[in-house]
Every structure is written in structure tokens, then in C-alpha cells.
Chain A
Amino acid sequence: MKKPALEQPRLPGRREVVATLLKAREDVLVVTGLGSAAYDVHAAGDRDDNYYLWGAMGGAALVGLGLAQAQPGKRVLVITGDGEQLMALGGLATIAVARPGNLDIVVIDNERYGETGMQTSHTGLGIDLAKIAAACGFAEAGTLTDLEEVRALGAPRDGHNAGPRLFVIKVAPDCPPRSLPPRDAVFIKNRFRAHLGFASI
């Protein structure tokens, strides 16, 4: 039997990470990227103030930007995967320039494309999304590797104006069972708007 690499830190599983991140969520608005990030948020509890993407890869952080700009009094949290965020590196520059103080982006980073067979992504080949965000000028950016740090990140915050922030959370490359959000995009949209007090049109 192959010996485990003793020096490797044991990374937390993605489900536990996202559940921990959202535990003290209160009225934070959540947007997810497609695939595993959406399943993780759904598994933590389906809510009216979740907006799940099932496609539009590369769009999650920018949907978050438009939402944060429209709702400056609320915190907006984008939860997405490394592959999804890699498709929108330019979007990090756009967000940094826009400086939405109430926007946080969390990249659940397993360094793989989970939907397509766990092929290695650029983050598994040396690309550091937190450093890219920092270089763009995000107010705060960093990489977390344990649940205590995730719990601190998910703790309620007093002010809304310390962003934009981007955090990469390194997770184990596990494949928990899918927890599928509704695929009806119109329903999800109108449910979210109704939560904020807006009519469907």
C-alpha cells in the first residue's frame, strides 16, 4: 500500500467548508457559480436569497457585482469554484476597479474541474487566484486552508464597506453526492427578487 504523504495538510471537505461559511449568514445575499459550488450551497440549505447559476460559466462574480451595486446596504457573497472563476480573470479587474465595498468572493478551490472528471485546473498548476485579486487591487485577498479560518470568515460583520474581498479556500478533492438546486432559472430569479420585495417584472 502506498504511504500517505505525511507533510500534506489535511484539507477540509467542500461541504463542511460551505456549511461552516454560511452558518452565521444572517441576511447575506448569496450567488453561486455553476456545478459543485451550487450543490454545496444548496446542501447547506435552500433559501430564497440564494441565486444559483446552472451555466453562464465565468458569470458568478459579475452577477455578484451587479447585485452588490444595486443593494449597497446588504452584503453579497459569491461562492464559486476555481474553474468558474478562472474563466473570468478579467472580471476580477472589473470588480477591483468598481470597488464594491459589500462584495465578497469565495472560491472553493479543489484545483480540479469536478463536473467533467476531476481534471487539474490552473490553480493546481501554480496559478494563485488570491494573488491575482490582490494584484488587481482587492481590499483584501487570501487563501484559507482550515475550518477555523472559514468560521472566522463567515462570522457576521459590522460594516459593509471593507471590500471587495476575495478568499480562496483550499478543499480536499472529494466528490460529495449532488444536491441539486431548482433548474428553473426564472423561478429562482423571481423568488430572489420577491425576497427583496420586488415584483417579478
Chain B
Amino acid sequence: MADADPPATHWPSRLYEVLKQADVRQMAYVPDAGHAALIDLFRADRQIVCNVLTTEEEGVAIAAGAWLGGQRAVLLMQSSGVGNCINMLSLPVIARFPLLMLVTMRGEWAEFNPWQVPMGRGAQAALEAVGVRVLRADTAEDLVDSVESAAALAFEADQQIAVLIGQRLLGKKKW
């Protein structure tokens, strides 16, 4: 995270501000390098309840429960986790629960691990097939706007939205 590229690396704190502005009170995640900075920001915030998950679909159900109890939630995962979520997404889709997922993409740009490629290719199609609307951002500027727009669509228009964060924006994984 010591990249010397300030504008591109500011996006986690800008997303955090956008999500706070949208009154998000619960955050659920499976640890992910692309989301690491945003996860740290949420975990340091005592007004946000954070749940670390064993598998991503748990977060879909937690977000529905949060809404039943009057709170807004956000889910952070990587594209491989989208595949884990599919049947659980029937809950927000059929009950029209607001759903906001931020998905860091793998398997599509300078990827070194072939095992990430199938879900990288399938994430958007799978989400759309089950009824989740997909926005996609490949620049930091577009990402912040997209998440702001997605939060409004989710929490004010009862939609189920995933914002895909392009791997090109996240940068090459360093080993």
C-alpha cells in the first residue's frame, strides 16, 4: 500500500466518506487485498458494525437483516466471492432489499493466477443473471461517482447493486 500514486490511492478514503454520507452502519467483508484500506477505515470507526465473514453469501443475509432492523449495510468482496453468493441473492432480489456490494475484480488485468479467471469473467454475467444490477468503474474518479450513485439506487430506490472495481484500477498484485 506504499504506492507513490496519490490520486489513484485516495479512492478508499473517498469511498469511506461516500458510504458514511449514505448512512451505512454495517459493513461485512471477506478479507481482500484490493479492499484492505477501506476495510481498515471501517474497522477503525466505532459507529460501524463490521462482520468478517467465512463466505460472502453470509453478508447478503446480514445486509437483509440490517435493513429489517432499520440500518443500511455494505458488502465488500472480490470477484471470486460473487460465485458464492448466487442463491443467497434471491433474498434481496425477491424481497427487494436494498443491496450494495463493492466487488474488486480479479482475473481480468495483469492477473498472474489462472484460477481467478473464470469468476473474473463470470462475475458480471452471474450477477445480472440472478437480477442484480451492475455498475463498473475503471478509474478512481468514476468509482467514487459510481458508488455514490449505487448507494442512492440501493437505499433510496430499493435496488440490488454491485459496483465492480476494475483490476486495472487496483493495480498488479505484488508478491
Contacts and interface: CB of A to CB of B under 8 A. Distances in A.
Interface residues of B, number: 36
A79 B96 CA distance: 23
Interface residues of A, number: 37
Contact of B57 (A58, A186, A193): A58
Given A68-B65, A196-B69, A196-B70, A94 B58 contact: yes
Contact of A66 (B54, B69, B94, B158): B69
The dominant DSSP class at the B interface is helix
B65 A70 contact: yes
Contacts of B96: 185-186, 189
Given A63-B62, A97-B52, A69 B26 contact: yes
Nearest to A185: B95
Interface stretch (A19-27, A48-56, A169-177): A48-56
Contact of A69 (B57, B71, B155): B71
A188 interface: yes
A159 interface: no
B90 A201 contact: no
Interface of B: 25-26, 49, 51-55, 57-58, 60-71, 73, 87-88, 90-91, 94-98, 155-158
The 8 closest A-B pairs by CB, nearest first: A66-B65, A70-B69, A90-B54, A185-B95, A62-B61, A59-B61, A66-B62, A67-B65
27 contacts: A31-B65, A51-B68, A55-B90, A56-B60, A56-B91, A59-B57, A59-B60, A59-B61, A59-B64, A62-B58, A62-B62, A66-B65, A67-B66, A69-B66, A70-B25, A70-B26, A70-B70, A71-B70, A91-B61, A94-B54, A98-B51, A185-B95, A188-B95, A189-B97, A193-B68, A196-B69, A201-B98
